[in-house]
Amino acid sequence: MASKPRVTHAAFRRGIGVAVRTFREAEGMEPGKLAELSEFDLGELDAIEKGEYLDLGVWGLERIAAVLGIRPSQIMALGETVANRPSKGKRT
């Protein structure tokens, strides 16, 4: 059985960011409201959604998920799916 290629930490962070933004927008929630309710400042949430926040951790993921009314595993699953997509411009 062939194994999947490993996803880099940067790609996974970007995937998590896309997932957070996707779920937030699906709820019709503004970034400032999610930041406030999940106890992040707006700059931190912006960095999370861009995949630039290096220290989200399980606790931060749980806070965001709770505000969005979803499970942290849903964010991680979508994040992994996004991270595994081929990069634009690459051929597979």
What is the predicted pLDDT for the residue at 1?
Answer: 55
**Coil, strand or helix: which one is 62?**
helix
Q: Which fold has domain 9-83?
A: 434 Repressor (Amino-terminal Domain) (1.10.260)
**Coil, strand or helix: which one is 14?**
helix
Domain boundaries, the chain: 9-83
> For 2-32, how does the pLDDT look when each residue is reduced to its tens digit (9 = 90+)?
566 677 889 999 999 999 999 999 999 999 9
pLDDT above 60: residue 91 = no
**CA atoms of 48 and 12, how far apart (whole Å):** 11
- Asked which of 2-6, 10-14, 35-39, 67-71 is least confident by mean pLDDT, the reply is 2-6
User: What's the whole-model pTM score?
Assistant: 0.86
Produce one character per residue of 35-72: b if its CB has 16 or more CB atoms within 10 Å, e if not. Answer: beebebeeebbbbbbebebeebeeebbebbbebbebeb
